[in-house]
Amino acid sequence: MAQVNMIDLREFIIKSMSEVFDMMLSMSLNVVDESSIIPLNGDKLMGSVSFAGKASGSINIHIGGNFAKTITAKMLGMTTDEIESNEEIHDVIGETSNMVGGSLKSRLCDSGFPCALSIPSVTSGGSFHVESKDWQFHEKILMENNNQFVIVEVFMKAST
């Protein structure tokens, strides 16, 4: 039986984020030194997907409002000025979270930890804080594209 502490969760996250951004958005992401993690100021969004099975947890993708618009425009093949509503942005951030979650889920399943994903949810606002407790593993990674930042957090534990 596989042991959850043998998983390189950080590498799984980086590969999942990089693949989704490269394939779906034609955007490359670079990992930024963890000591550089800064809060995202102003309007921000958080796309979340939970997973449950032999491994359980959540994936939270935090992104500034301007970068969320850039991602939305890329995915929908338009300019940021053509985005008509926040609903479009929320849909794209939810779908991006779902794709990253699906990629991470596949890596977990391949490592002996089958699990199922929830539907994505999106939270937006100027000031909110997310706290998850009682997890065995927590990874927080700062990534950037053209000086626009995204923070991805994964909380995980092995099911008993």
Quick one: pLDDT at residue 60? 95
Q: Are 158 and 4 spatial neighbours (Cβ–Cβ below 8 Å)?
A: yes
What domains lie within the chain, and their CATH numbers? 4-158 (3.40.1550.10)
Q: What is the dihedral of CA 63, 9, 129, 93, to 10 degrees?
A: 30
In eight-state DSSP terms, residue 10 is H
pTM of the model: 0.89
Under 8 Å between Cβ of 100 and 152:
yes
Instruction: Summarize pLDDT for 126-142 with one digit per residue, the tens.
Output: 777 777 777 888 889 99
pLDDT digits (tens, 9 = 90+) for 16-45: 899 999 998 999 999 998 776 666 777 899
CA atoms within 13 A on the CB side of 25: 24
- Secondary structure, 3-state, 73-111: HHHHCCCHHHCCCHHHHHHHHHHHHHHHHHHHHHHHHHC
